[in-house]
Amino acid sequence: MSGGRQFFVGGNFKMNGNTKSLSAIAERLSSSDLDDTVEVVVAPPASYLALLSAKLSAKENVNVSAQNVHEAEKGAFTGEISCSMAQDCGARYAILGHSERRHVFGESNEQIGTKTKSVLAAGLVVIACIGEKAEDRKSGNTMNVCVEQLTAFKENINDWSKVVIAYEPVWAIGTGEVATPEIAQETHSQIRTWLSENVGSEVAASTRIIYGGSVNGKNCKDLSLQPDIDGFLVGGASLKPEFVDIINCTRK
């Protein structure tokens, strides 16, 4: 990482955990000697946002994120939560465009863009997820896919200081197949170049681009040494004690 960007480590718990296990994670984070130069964000299931927010309130550099939100403020949307509901439960961030939302639940670029506008209007920070499938990587279409997804975000962003981009190659999420530091760095560099050419050089220099996809305590250090990798969005490992090691991987 370079450019003075604050290192960012997010933990996406997905649909995992209960009061006991998530309280234990919060206790571990609260009692651990975390690198206070790292911004840490955890995203529990919506039903545990308030619990985690309360338990982590004393840890200044640890905040809570929604895993997803609906674009409307309120209404007849059974099973959904709005930005203000997430905020009311202590969330300061929202993950949007995660590959599972795109490819399991069928969210389109257009819908994710609309959600982005709502999240920023509510004052939350967007963790904007992009990434290609294995067939896109093999056919050389990685950046075509990423640019299409980035463009949908860009058209709905009025304040890039409230955005963290998460590059998550779909083929590496939950598979144990992590992109090599060189492959990840190449794509991160291309994303930063795209930002420079399509948004502006200052935004490109200051926006954090984090990597997600089977990050763990063993591979995080090598990934963190790449100049355009500004942190991680961690899945399964965020539920384990090694999450602390990942948070502290850049500590000198």
> Does residue 188 carry a catalytic annotation?
no
> Does residue 70 carry a catalytic annotation?
no
User: How many residues in total does the chain contain?
Assistant: 252
Of 237, 204, 189, the closest CA to residue 10 belongs to: 237
In 10 A of CB 82, how many CB atoms? Answer: 19
β-strand partners of 231:
8
Say if CB 104 and CB 95 are below 8 A apart.
no
Say if CB 191 and CB 165 are below 8 A apart.
yes
> Rounded to an integer, what distance in angstroms lies between the CA atom of residue 7 and that of residue 211?
11
Tokens of 5: 């960007």
Catalytic residue among 39, 70, 71, 98: 98
Residues 86, 44, 130, 183: is their CA dihedral positive or negative?
A: positive
Residue 141 identity (one-letter amino acid) = N
Catalytically annotated residues: 98, 168
